[in-house]
Structure 1
Amino acid sequence: MKLDDVTIEKKLLRFPDWDYYDNALHSEFEFDNFKDCFSAMSRIAFECEALNHHPDWSNYYNVLKISLSTKDAEGVTDKDFKLAEAIEAIVEVEE
């Protein structure tokens, strides 16, 4: 179920590295090098499969940009926050 803007903004207080715009959650992570970035992406991919929820993302050298929304709901849902939480845990370990 799509979350309303007030609920999203409230939940974002727990995710300082994430922003909400264009109907999605967005974040950007910078790593020391390409290898570390790709390693994090690989770990995130396994989490995505486990949750059956997949991000829109791009990578350029050591920077990973991620956008999360739930296509079926046409917006942000609890699934997006669950994946953001998993991503945060993975990225924290990499840093």
Structure 2
Amino acid sequence: MSKKQKTAIKQTTTVPPAAVKPTQNAPASGLAFGKTNFQFMLIGIGVILTGFIIMTLDKEEFGFGFLGITLGPIVVFCGFMIELYAILKKKA
């Protein structure tokens, strides 16, 4: 192989420097969620657990009192809504 052929092959296989630069839309890390997403997820888990604890505090038979039927499920539902928000929130 002559020098001319080697130079021609080398020129066609090089990548221009502009193609190597990362784009502006590239994520900074490989994680799907950011720090605030994880914080909201932990808050949501805490609210869900609090709702289940509230349901166990009901003194009525089979948990048919206000705490077991009304307040606890509302708190659990709010916790799941926080979880949904944490999942759908875009990473900052």
TM norm structure 2? 0.33
The structure with the larger Rg is 2
Higher strand share: 1
TM norm structure 1? 0.32
